[in-house]
Structure 1
Amino acid sequence: MDTGRRGILKAAGLALLTGGLNCSSTQAMEPVSRNPGKRIKLSIAAYSFRNELKAEPPQMTLHEGFIDIAVREGLDAIEPTSYYFPEPVTPEYILRLKQRAFLEGLDISGTAIGNTFTYPPGPDRDKQLELTRTWVDHAALLGAPCIRVFAGRIQPGDDIEKARAYCIETLEVACDYAGTKGVYLALENHGGIVDTADNMLPIVRAVKSPWFGVNLDGGNFTSEDPYKDLAIMAPYAVNVQVKAQINPGGKGKVPADLKKVMSIIKDSGYRGYVALEYEADEPALVGVPKYLAQLRELVD
């Protein structure tokens, strides 16, 4: 069997035709297999406007304001991050958001949850899996093809090997469910046990699910050479986000070389969404349009 992602997906399709989709795989993840050629679509993460969304009273909502900015900036998609959905999250709200995005010509590039997957078997892990399943259901209803998830930090009394093993176990259980809904779980390089490519790659390579991949964050690696780490992990990406800043060696944030980041993404053969997740000091309503303009030039 082809060990690339295309071979895995062909096998999954065959299983569906012959009696049901088995969302597990006996193969570890290989770099994603894609057709050649450029196909990058720009999105914006709602987290970019966290201050406006969480202000009292809110200066915008996902439905009003956030979508309008995406339209004004000529984007292809939005990422309505889970933190900014009104509680309780209802099917009616999800469908209203989906409807508005569709009528404005916007895709839903994905969403994100604030999970931790480094717990041992027990109530804490069960709680994280329940959170994930809930948002898989929400994502499927919303039409979001992907949820970016975190690994987490080493729990007290554990070491990194144990934390990795727990993370892999939890990811595989979560991906089994996500696959039944047609939703990818994309592990983000987000500190903790995935702060460098050396720490992240063993986890990524070990997860055996065709519904798993990497959410490559252009600003989160804290190795001495984050660009090298991005190049290592880019072939496994099913979703990408870029930031205005990068943090070499964990010594402090400096402006990111967006041209270099985008070259790495393109050279990997990536096709799909690239979302800006803006975290710089300048207010988002001012800074986001500037960085989107830079990204647009680099994508075109």
Structure 2
Amino acid sequence: MIPGLPACTRNYTPENLSMDRRFFLGSAVAAAGTPLAGARFPERKGNARLSIGLAAYSFREHFGWMKGEAREPRGREMDMFGFIDFCAEHGCHGAELTSYFFPASVDSGYFNRVKRHAFLRGVDVCGTAIGNDFSMGEGTHLDGEIAAAKTWLKKAALMGAPHVRFFAGTGRGFSAGKDRVAAAVTALRECAACAGELGIFIGIENHGAITADFLLDLVKEVDSPWVGINLDSGNFISDDPYADFARCAPWAVNVQLKVHIRRNEPADLPRLVGLLRQARYQGYVVLEYESGKPSEEIPGYLRTLRRLCG
């Protein structure tokens, strides 16, 4: 437990859930476009406000740590302080500090130094991202995933990050049965209670070959004012990813834009930003770059995003 932060104890059991036919992969939404009773649609007043951020994942090959294991970086090595410097030097408002690339066993002092460094460079720590999987069903593995997720919520609080990207799980995992979806909702509700105590948003990403309908139903079933969608423009699996993006945008609490969309097609960035404006999205638009040479190629895309989002 991190001193000074809530313990985030367990509050939910499977008996609390109202699972029904909405939850099977590839299904249509039970009442298309209509939130479940009590589901909290994010309230946004006024016009869209789009702030540019950059994900540390864009430099994934350059970090000397990967999920707690030391490794040899490719090319010039980077740490979180150097990544924040890159963000500052290229006009980013925010830096998304992906959890994978932190050194193992860092203490609260390390996160305080990260927070201080970002503040002095004029960069917000706009979030972090974890690689959890809640789709394996009840048991010790899932319990460990929940505990690790809560730990990162607390670390995000230390850095002053308002958002943590979560995965729900995988399409393959959820296809094993409705009980797996129930267990995932239980896990997400438990983490949402912890996030609420810390004042941090959880954004569930459209990751792992889950459909937009499934994701929307999942967020509505979790039904927390601290849970929305981490909207990744490159991860939709349907034949119309732009339509999926538009349907999910009103529920977004964080956006990750990629320069490619389904099947490695170049993304229509003006179209994606236009859809965010239509949804009156107010928050970070984080570039997550997965191609080429990041140090050389990212600055041009950031200039494009500043022009589109300004």
1:97 partnered with 2:114: yes
Once the two structures are TM-superposed, the CA of residue 155 in structure 1 deviates from its matched residue by 6.0
Q: Deviations over 1:238-278 (max 9, x none)?
A: 1111001001xxxx211100011111111101001111000
| Letter in structure 1 aligned against 2:77 | Q
Cα 1:154–1:271, aligned 2, differ >3 Å: closer, same or farther? closer
Where do 1:194-273 residues align within 5 Å?
A: 194=210, 196-247=211-262, 252-273=263-284
Once the two structures are TM-superposed, the CA of residue 174 in structure 1 deviates from its matched residue by 1.0
Q: Deviations over 1:29-64 (max 9, x none)?
A: 34311111231111100000001114725611111x
Write the distance in 2 (CA, Å) between the matches of 1:56 and 1:267: 44
Once the two structures are TM-superposed, the CA of residue 169 in structure 1 deviates from its matched residue by 1.5
Structure 1 contact 188–216 (Cα < 8 Å) conserved: yes
Write the distance in 2 (CA, Å) between the matches of 1:157 and 1:171: 14
* Identical pairs, percent: 41
Once the two structures are TM-superposed, the CA of residue 163 in structure 1 deviates from its matched residue by 3.3
Q: Deviations over 1:75-126 (max 9, x none)?
A: 1110111011111121111010100000011111100111001132220111
1:70 partnered with 2:87: yes
State the aligned residue count: 270
Cα 1:168–1:78, aligned 2, differ >3 Å: closer, same or farther? same
Q: Deviations over 1:7-34 (max 9, x none)?
A: xxxxxxxxxxxxxxxx99x964343111
* Greater length-normalized contact order (CA 8 Å, ≥ 6 residues apart): 2
Write the distance in 2 (CA, Å) between the matches of 1:154 and 1:166: 14
Once the two structures are TM-superposed, the CA of residue 69 in structure 1 deviates from its matched residue by 1.0
Q: Secondary structure at the match of 1:109?
A: strand
Q: When the two structures are superposed, what TM-score results if normalisation uses the length of structure 2?
A: 0.82
Aligned to 1:41: 51
Segments ≥4 residues shifted beyond 4 Å: 154-158
Write the distance in 1 (CA, Å) between the matches of 2:72 and 2:191: 35
Q: Secondary structure at the match of 1:29?
A: coil
| Letter in structure 2 aligned against 1:62 | M
Q: When the two structures are superposed, what TM-score results if normalisation uses the length of structure 1?
A: 0.85
Write the distance in 1 (CA, Å) between the matches of 2:224 and 2:288: 27
Where do 1:1-16 residues align within 5 Å?
A: none
Q: Which runs of 5+ in 2 are unaligned?
A: 1-10, 13-35, 65-70
Q: Which runs of 5+ in 1 are unaligned?
A: 1-22
